[in-house]
Amino acid sequence: MDAVVRCRIESQLNIRCTAAIDRDCPRAGRKEGRCDSDGFELRFAIRHDGKRFSILNRMLTPDELQHFKREYNLAGQPDFLMEMNRRCCLEGKRVLEVGGSNIPKDLLFEVLRVRQWISVDRVYPENRQYWPKQYGHTGVIPLADDIDYSILDQHVILDGGIEHLPPSFIGRFDAIVSMDAFEHVHRFATMLDRTYDALKPGGKMLSMYSPIWSSHIGHHLWGVTDKAGRTYYIESSPIPRWGHLLMRPNEMYRYLMGHTDPETADEIVYRVYHSELLNRLFYEDFEAHLAGSRFASVDIEKYTPDVDPDPETQRRLETLHPGRRNFSAVGILAICEKTGQRAV
C-alpha cells in the first residue's frame, strides 16, 4: 500500500498504521485491507481510483466478532450484519431493522457508524431475559399508527409487527436490514409493501434468514426442556431431518413419545405445527413473494450450504408437498432495491 493511501488511512481513522496488507475486491477500484496499529488489528475497505480516496466501511476481526457474541449473548447476528455492511455500507445511513432488536449500540454507532437505527420487532418477555444489556440501553415503545417518525431518537425499538409500520415512516430510510426474521413474518406480502414504502428512492433492503420451513431443520425448535432436564434446540432436537415435512402432527407425536415424555412431545408438536412464531413458507413461496414485490431488482442467494435429501426422501417430500422441489436450501440472502435516485 503506497504512502499516500496509508497516510489518509491514519488521518481518517485516527490511528498510526505500522503495517498494511490489501487485496483487490471484485468491484472495480475497491480494496480490502487491515493495518496493525500498536498491536491492534483494524480491518477496513477503501476505494481509491487515483482521484478520490474513501474508507468505505470498517470490518471486525474474528476476535472482535467473538467479543460481541460473548458480551451480548449473540449467535450469528454480528457476522450477518458485517456481511450486509460489506455489500451495502451503512455508515451515515438511517437504517430500519425488521425483527432482531438485539444488536448492541456500540456495534451500530461506534463500529458501523450508522446515523439512526430503528428496530421494529415483537418484543417478548424472553427477549429481555436473553439480551438484558441491549434492552437496558434502549427504550421500547409500543408500535402505533400515530407515531411521528420525526420525534424519534437515534436508537429506538418499536414493539409490534412490521406490517403495521406507521405512515410517517414512508420514504425515511436509506437501508433496511433483517437478520433471522423473515421466516417468522406471516403477512409477507404486506411486509414487502411496507418496507418498500419506508425506503428512500435508490435504497436497499438486505435480509438474511434461516432455517426456512422447507429445509431439513425448518421446524425451528428452540428451548424446549423435558422432564428429564434435556433441552432441545434446532440442531439438537429429536426430530429427524425433514421430519416436520414427512410427518403429520399425530405421527410426529407418536414418534416423539419414543424420545421424551408426553407433555414435552405435545409441546414440540404445538411449536412445530401450530405456533404463530413460524410462517411455514417454503423456498418457492419466498421466491414468488419477492419476485411479485414492487422492488425494481431482487437478488436471492443461499448464504449457508445446501443440505440435500437422498433421492427417496426427495421423492416423498415432492409427493407430500406438490409443487415444491427445493428442500435443500437452509438460509436465504435477499437483496432488494427500490427504483429512483440512489440513496447517499
Question: Within a domain: residue 89?
Answer: yes
* Range among 3-17, 58-72, 217-231 rated most confident: 217-231
The confidence score (pLDDT) of residue 118 equals 96
Residues 306 and 174 in one domain: yes
Residue that finishes a domain, picked among 252, 273, 294: 273
Measured CA to CA, the distance from residue 66 to residue 63 in angstroms comes to: 5
Cell of 303: 448464504
3-state class of 206 per DSSP?
Answer: strand
Catalogue the E-assigned strands of 83-226: 94-98, 116-121, 140-142, 155-159, 173-179, 199-209, 224-225
> Is pLDDT of 49 > 60?
no
Residues 126 and 246 in one domain: no
Cell of 147: 407515531
Residue closest to 261 by CA, chosen among 232, 282, 240: 232
Residues 316 and 299 in one domain: yes
Residues 53 and 71 in one domain: no
Report the mean per-residue pLDDT for the chain: 86
Question: Within a domain: residue 217?
Answer: no
Per residue in 268-322, pLDDT (tens digit) is: 999 999 999 999 999 999 999 999 999 999 999 998 999 999 999 999 999 999 9
Per residue in 108-128, pLDDT (tens digit) is: 999 999 999 999 999 887 877
Question: Within a domain: residue 218?
Answer: no
The confidence score (pLDDT) of residue 3 equals 47
* pLDDT band, very low/low/confident/very high, at 57 (cuts 50, 70, 90): low
Question: Within a domain: residue 174?
Answer: yes
Per residue in 307-344, pLDDT (tens digit) is: 999 999 999 999 999 999 999 999 999 999 998 755 44
The confidence score (pLDDT) of residue 38 equals 38
Question: Within a domain: residue 240?
Answer: yes
Task: Note whether 203 and 338 are within 8 A (CB).
Answer: yes
Burial of 94 (0-12, 13-18, 19+ CB in 10 A): buried
Which residues have C-beta within 8 Å of that of residue 46, sequence separation ≥ 6? 5, 9, 22, 30, 31, 32, 33, 53, 54, 55, 56
Query: What is the number of domains present in the chain?
Result: 3
Residues 19 and 156 in one domain: no
Measured CA to CA, the distance from residue 165 to residue 257 in angstroms comes to: 43
* pLDDT band, very low/low/confident/very high, at 134 (cuts 50, 70, 90): confident
Cell of 310: 437422498
* Cis-peptide into 211, omega within 30 deg: yes
Residues 186 and 230 in one domain: no
Give 22-51 as a 3 state SS string.
EEECCCCCEEEEEEEECCEEEEEEEEECCC
C-beta atoms surrounding 136 within 10 Å? 9
Question: Within a domain: residue 268?
Answer: yes
DSSP 160: S
Q: Which helix (H) or strand (E) holds 9?
A: helix 3-13
- Average the pLDDT over 149-165 and give the result: 94
Question: Within a domain: residue 342?
Answer: no
Residues 245 and 96 in one domain: no
Residues 268 and 285 in one domain: no
Per residue in 167-207, pLDDT (tens digit) is: 999 999 999 999 999 999 999 999 999 999 999 999 999 99
* pLDDT band, very low/low/confident/very high, at 22 (cuts 50, 70, 90): very low
Domain of 182, CATH number, reads 3.40.50.150
- Average the pLDDT over 72-77 and give the result: 88
Which residues have C-beta within 8 Å of that of residue 343, sequence separation ≥ 6? 93, 174, 175, 199, 200, 201, 202, 203, 204
Question: Within a domain: residue 191?
Answer: yes
Residues 258 and 157 in one domain: no
* Residue whose C-alpha cell is 476476535: 63
Per residue in 23-48, pLDDT (tens digit) is: 444 443 444 445 443 333 444 454 45
In terms of pLDDT, which residue wins out, 163 or 35?
A: 163
Residues 160 and 96 in one domain: yes
Assessment of whether the complete model's pTM goes beyond 0.85: no
> Is pLDDT of 55 > 90?
no
Residues 230 and 253 in one domain: yes
> Is pLDDT of 221 > 70?
yes
DSSP 132: H
The boundaries of the domain holding residue 260 are 224-273
Task: Note whether 211 and 261 are within 8 A (CB).
Answer: no
Residues 306 and 329 in one domain: yes
- To the nearest whole percent, how much of the chain has pLDDT over 90? 69
